[in-house]
A and B are shown apart, each in its own frame.
Chain A
Amino acid sequence: MRRTTRHKVNLGVLYTVLLAVVLLLVLLADWAAVQENFFDPEIAKSLWPEIITVGAKNTILYTLVAFFGGLALAVVLALMRLSPIAPYRWLATAYIEFFRGLPALLVIIASGFAIPIAFGWRPPGGIVGAGLAALIVVASAYIAETLRAGIQAVPKGQTEAARSLGMSGPRTTIFIVLPQALRIVIPPLTNEFVLLIKDTSLLAIIGVAVGERELTTLARDELSLNSNSTPLIAAAVMYLVITLPLTQLVAALERKQQRAR
Chain B
Amino acid sequence: MTSRITGAQPGARAIEIRDLHKYFGDNEVLKGIDFHVDQGQVVCVIGPSGSGKSTLLRCVNRLEEPTSGTILVEGVNVIDPEVDLDEIRSRIGMVFQSFNLFPHLTVMRNLTIAQNRVLRRGKDEAVEIARRNLEKVGLAGKEDAYPAHLSGGQQQRVAIARALSMDPDMMLFDEPTSSLDPELVGDVLEVMRDLATDGMTMMVVTHEMRFARDVGDKVVFMDGGVIVEEGAPLDVLRNPQHERTKAFLSKVL
Contacts and interface: CB of A to CB of B under 8 A. Distances in A.
A167 B92 contact: no
B98 A157 contact: yes
Interface string B88-99: 111110101010
B23 interface: no
B124 interface: no
Contacts of B61: 164
A155 B96 CA distance: 13
B118 A161 contact: no
A163 B89 contact: yes
Interface in B72-94: 86-92, 94
Contacts of A171: 117
Nearest to B101: A161
A210 B166 CA distance: 61
A87 interface: no
Interface in B29-83: 61, 63
Interface string B104-123: 10000000011001110000
Given A166-B87, A166-B166, A260-B148, A175 B96 contact: no
B100 A167 contact: no
B66 to A, nearest CB: 16
A126 interface: no
Q: Is the interface of A mostly helix, strand, loop or mixed?
A: helix
Given A165-B89, A167-B86, A157 B113 contact: no
A179 B104 contact: yes
A164 B89 contact: yes
Given A157-B100, A161-B100, A161-B102, A175 B113 contact: yes
A183 interface: yes
Interface string A157-174: 110111111111001000
A165 B90 contact: yes
A166 B90 contact: yes
Interface string A183-215: 100000000000000000000000000000000
Contacts of B98: 155, 157
A183 B162 contact: no
Contacts of A161: 94, 96, 100-102, 159
Contacts of A180: 102-104
Contact of A157 (B87, B96, B118, B166): B96
Contacts of A175: 113, 117
A176 interface: yes
A80 B240 CA distance: 53
Contact of A167 (B63, B103, B114, B159): B114
A165 B166 contact: yes
Contacts of A157: 96, 98, 100
Contacts of B87: 166
Interface of B: 61, 63, 86-92, 94, 96, 98, 100-104, 113-114, 117-119, 148, 159, 162-163, 166
Interface of A: 155, 157-158, 160-168, 171, 175-176, 179-180, 183, 260
Given A157-B100, A165-B89, 4 more contacts: A162-B102, A165-B118, A166-B91, A167-B86
29 contacts: A155-B98, A155-B100, A157-B100, A160-B63, A160-B96, A160-B100, A161-B94, A161-B100, A161-B102, A163-B63, A163-B86, A163-B89, A164-B63, A164-B89, A164-B92, A165-B114, A166-B86, A166-B87, A166-B90, A166-B118, A166-B166, A167-B113, A167-B114, A167-B117, A168-B86, A171-B117, A175-B117, A180-B103, A183-B104
